[in-house]
């Protein structure tokens, strides 16, 4: 990854660009399972658009994506993790997730991933294991205390 990244609370001006990003990132997988609906996507994005848990990701001053990390009593729930295509495949996702993990080192992290989505490989590389499933999603958890995930050689 070239350039450092920063995390900052989202601002209202980020809503439309991040909504557009989420649609571009999710569309193909949602269409595959017959669940793509732009209005539903807007509603879900609006419901989760909370600066207390949703952070904008910037690289070299440019909006590169977002991630939500919502601490609960016994775990951290990660959702709304989207990266611009130009920012993918460069180690940025792993670096952002490492920062989230460092902020909550004593809690396991949970995430839901759309069944069949290619992103499940990313989460497995980050130390997540599949713990269950729902009608459209796989449930994953990464136990607390795993430390850093080794980089591929």
Q: Kindly report, residue by residue over 49-83, the tens digit of the pLDDT.
A: 999 999 999 999 999 999 999 999 999 999 999 99
Mean pLDDT of 37-55: 95
For residue 114, the cross-strand partners are: 137
Q: Kindly report, residue by residue over 83-100, the tens digit of the pLDDT.
A: 999 999 999 999 999 999
Write down the pLDDT at residue 117. Answer: 86
Q: Kindly report, residue by residue over 99-119, the tens digit of the pLDDT.
A: 999 999 999 999 999 988 888
CA distances from 139 to 23, 90, 111 (A): 21, 25, 6
Give CA–CA dist 98/151, Å, rounded: 12
The answer to whether the CB of 66 falls within 8 A of the CB of 8 is no
Between 3.40.50.620, 3.40.640.10, 3.40.630.30, 3.40.50.280, what CATH number should domain 5-142 receive? Answer: 3.40.630.30
- Domain residue spans of the chain: 5-142
């Amino acid at each position: 990854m070239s350039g450092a990244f920063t995390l900052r609370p989202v601002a209202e001006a980020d809503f439309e660009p991040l909504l557009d990003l989420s649609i571009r990132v999710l569309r193909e997988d949602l269409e595959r399972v017959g669940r793509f609906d732009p209005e539903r996507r807007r509603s879900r994005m609006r419901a989760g658009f909370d600066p207390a848990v949703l952070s904008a990701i910037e690289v070299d001053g440019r909006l590169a994506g977002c991630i939500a990390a919502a601490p609960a009593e016994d775990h951290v729930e990660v959702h709304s993790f989207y990266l611009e295509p130009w920012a993918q495949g460069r180690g940025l996702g792993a670096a952002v997730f490492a920062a989230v993990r460092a902020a909550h080192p004593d809690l396991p992290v949970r995430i839901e991933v759309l069944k069949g989505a290619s992103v499940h490989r990313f989460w497995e590389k980050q130390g997540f294991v599949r713990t269950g499933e729902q009608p459209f999603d796989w449930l994953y958890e990464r136990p607390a205390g795993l430390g850093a995930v080794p980089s591929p050689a």
